[in-house]
Amino acid sequence: MNRVSVIMGSISDWPTMKEAVAILEQFDVTVETHIISAHRMPTEMATYAANAREAGVDVIIAGAGGAAHLPGMVAAQTTLPVIGVPMKTKTLNGVDSLLSIVQMPAGVPVGTVAIGEAGAKNAAYYALQILSITNQTLVTELETFREQQAQKARESEAKLHD
Ligand SMILES: Nc1c(C(=O)O)ncn1[C@@H]1O[C@H](COP(=O)(O)O)[C@@H](O)[C@H]1O
Q: Which amino acid makes up residue 151? A: Q
Cα–Cα distance for residue pair 20/118, rounded to 1 Å? 9
Q: What is the pLDDT of residues 89-134, one digit of tens each?
A: 999 999 999 999 999 999 999 999 999 999 999 999 999 999 999 9
Reported as a pLDDT band with limits 50, 70 and 90, residue 162 is confident
Paired residues of 117 in beta bridges: none
pLDDT reported for residue 26:
96
Q: Which amino acid makes up residue 146? A: R
Q: What is the pLDDT of residues 14-69, one digit of tens each?
A: 999 999 999 999 998 999 999 999 999 999 999 999 999 999 999 999 999 999 99
Question: What angle (nearest 5°) sits at the alpha carbon of residue 134, between those of residues 58 and 2?
Answer: 35
Annotated binding site for substrate: 10, 13, 40
Distance 8 CA to ligand 1 centre (A): 8
Rounded to two decimals, the ipTM of the complex is 0.99
Q: Atom 8, ligand 1: which residue's CA is nearest?
A: 9
Residue 60, SS3? Answer: strand
Ligand 1 atom closest to the Cα of residue 68 is 1
pLDDT reported for residue 102:
98
Distance 37 CA to ligand 1 centre (A): 7
**Is the shortest distance between the CB of 65 and ligand 1 below 6 Å?**
yes
Residues 44, 14 contacting (CB under 8 angstroms): no
**Is the shortest distance between the CB of 68 and ligand 1 below 6 Å?**
yes
Cα–Cα distance for residue pair 43/73, rounded to 1 Å? 11
pLDDT reported for residue 28:
81
Distance 89 CA to ligand 1 centre (A): 10
Q: Is 64 exposed, middle or buried (0-12, 13-18, 19+ CB in 10 A)?
A: buried
Dihedral sign for Cα 43, 45, 48, 52, please.
Answer: negative
pLDDT reported for residue 109:
98
Distance 125 CA to ligand 1 centre (A): 24
**Is the shortest distance between the CB of 9 and ligand 1 below 6 Å?**
yes
Cα–Cα distance for residue pair 112/91, rounded to 1 Å? 21
pLDDT surpassing 90 at residue 1: no
Q: Is 28 exposed, middle or buried (0-12, 13-18, 19+ CB in 10 A)?
A: middle
pLDDT reported for residue 93:
98
